[in-house]
Amino acid sequence: MDYNPKIMTDIFNKAVALHDGDEQAARDWMAKDNDDFNGHSPLSTCKPYEGAVRVNTYLTEKLKHKNTR
């Protein structure tokens, strides 16, 4: 299955929020290899759809923690 536009929009919006509104920082984070995704970038993890769900859940949890500090 290819990228799902709805979940990808949600992921990007959450990444922007996590980076305090900085869209470029969110794009950079999406493309950079990340230990939390077994050394893969969040963007590459988003394919297949189950990976997108994983990234979305990860960002949701990160935002919860960020908003409780």
Q: 50 or 4, which is more confident?
A: 50
pLDDT tens-digit map of 9-33? 999 999 999 999 999 999 999 999 9
Per-residue pLDDT band at 2 (split at 50, 70, 90): low
Segments forming the whole domain that contains residue 30 = 5-67
* Structural domain count, the chain: 1
Q: What percent of the chain has pLDDT over 90?
A: 80
Residue 40 is classified by DSSP as B
- What's residue 3's pLDDT? 54
